[in-house]
Amino acid sequence: MLKSLLKKQPVEYRLPMTRGYVRHWGVKEAARELLQNAIDFAGGQLQVELGGGQLRVTSPGATLPARTLLLGSSTKADDTRTIGSFGEGYKLALLVLTRQGYPTVVVNDDKIWTPSFKEDSQFGEDVLCITEEACEPTAGVEFLVTNLSPEDEAEIRACCLHLQSEEEIGRLHRTHMGNILLDRPGQLFVGGLFVCETEMKFSYDFAPQFLRLERDRQTVSSFDLAWAAKDMWFHTGQFDEVAALVEQDVPDLKYANYGTPELVKEACYRVFQQRHPGAIAAKNQAELENLVAQGFTKVVVVSETFRDIVMTSSSMTAQGIVRPLAPKELLQQFFADNRKHMRRHAIVDFKRLLEQSSGWRLS
């Protein structure tokens, strides 16, 4: 009998996380973490209710073992299809929501978790405490956040494409890598969740396996983003549109001269010839003067990316115009062919080598 009564007593889990942890986070970041966990568990789907001052995020069939309260513990660390893999997300969300005064409870199957701050006598600091009480089994996990303002709700909706209508999202190019959002500039989403503002002409929503985020899940390598963006554009099949954007030198297609499909090369060649019939392309004034010295009478300066693609197209080489590749171009070809076999550190180092090779010349 005593054992049964003791089982019903609340249990406390004290986490080594103080009030000031991730102090730059607000309700938007906290809600994103809760949404992320639900999306990851449901394989991209989301059961969520937002309105009337409440956010309810439900994962039927899920459960959160107590061990997931440990920092670094996660049920998805080895799954590349999920957005997060560091095991901190929902704990940080509970900390931030509690710190900012949003009453929050977690119904975890047959338990209710309630976050609060309590002083830890050993450290003399307030730490996040999760109080666990028994409840009727629910066969799932539900996060309920209350006391949200209309402004809070608008912020949460803006950071999650799953909560937006087709009209709000606008026109899309859909690919197996994710979607290009054509009607809004410079936003990055991964798995439907907002990551950061970018310098891109368009917005992108990547499937998690195609773009690795930094540890804070709010930043990404600019190189990785530009590389993934050009691959996504290649997969749209909209080659004439790609060619027009490359000619405009948009940052989204900065690396379009790496691993360029022949259909993109031919589309770029057509655009170039329509603008400059009978000409060949140079990347700068020095290259223009060198080509003129070789006897070419009509040379036009364009961006380096557009030049590389046009001059390596089948239509250009069929005319017998074969320009020796510069060292940087040879390295670009090698990188495009072998990047998928390289580790992350090797990719970073090779990128530095490419930057250094801009001034190299063939002897």
Last residue of a domain, one of 130, 153, 176: 153
Structure tokens at 144: 């309920």
Provide the domain limits for residue 199.
164-235
At 72-126, the pLDDT tens digits run: 665 554 444 333 333 578 999 999 999 999 999 999 999 999 999 999 888 889 9
At 227-253, the pLDDT tens digits run: 999 999 999 999 999 999 999 999 999
Distance (Å, rounded) from C-alpha 299 to C-alpha 339?
Answer: 33
pLDDT of residue 349: 81
Mean of the per-residue pLDDT values of the chain: 87
The verdict on 36 and 126 lying in the same domain is yes
Q: Is residue 158 part of a domain?
A: no
In the 8-state DSSP scheme, what is residue 160? Answer: B
At 251-277, the pLDDT tens digits run: 999 999 999 999 999 999 999 999 999
State pTM to two decimals: 0.79
Top-confidence residue, 192 or 37: 192
The verdict on 198 and 295 lying in the same domain is no
The verdict on 34 and 114 lying in the same domain is yes
At 124-147, the pLDDT tens digits run: 899 999 999 999 998 889 999 999
C-alpha closest to that of 21 among 104, 136, 115: 115
Residue 141, CA distances (Å) to 58, 89, 114, 212 in order: 6, 15, 13, 27
The verdict on 15 and 148 lying in the same domain is yes
Mean pLDDT of 47-58: 94
Q: Is residue 301 part of a domain?
A: yes
At 292-313, the pLDDT tens digits run: 887 788 999 999 999 999 999 9
Of the chain, the percentage scoring pLDDT greater than 70 comes to 88
The verdict on 214 and 270 lying in the same domain is no
pLDDT of residue 325: 59
Distance (Å, rounded) from C-alpha 64 to C-alpha 74?
Answer: 10
pLDDT of residue 2: 37
The residue count of the chain comes to 363
Does position 14 have pLDDT exceeding 90, yes or no? yes
The verdict on 141 and 275 lying in the same domain is no
Q: Count other C-beta atoms under 10 Å from residue 70's C-beta.
A: 14
pLDDT of residue 255: 95
Mean pLDDT of 196-206: 96
The verdict on 16 and 123 lying in the same domain is yes
145 and 31 in contact (C-beta within 8 Å)? Answer: yes
Q: Is residue 159 part of a domain?
A: no
Structure tokens at 112: 């209710």
The verdict on 76 and 138 lying in the same domain is yes
pLDDT of residue 135: 92
Read off φ and ψ for residue 248, nearest 5 degrees: -75, -10
Q: Is residue 287 part of a domain?
A: yes
Mean pLDDT of 59-80: 73
pLDDT of residue 147: 97
The verdict on 107 and 10 lying in the same domain is yes
Query: Cα-atom radius of gyration of the chain, to the nearest Å?
Result: 26
Last residue of a domain, one of 92, 124, 153: 153
Helix axes 222-236, 239-247, angle to 10 degrees: 140
Which residues does 172 contact at the CB level (< 8 Å), separation at least 6?
179, 180, 181, 182
Q: State the total domains in the chain.
A: 4
Distance (Å, rounded) from C-alpha 329 to C-alpha 273?
Answer: 22
Top-confidence residue, 41 or 201: 201
Distance (Å, rounded) from C-alpha 328 to C-alpha 71?
Answer: 44
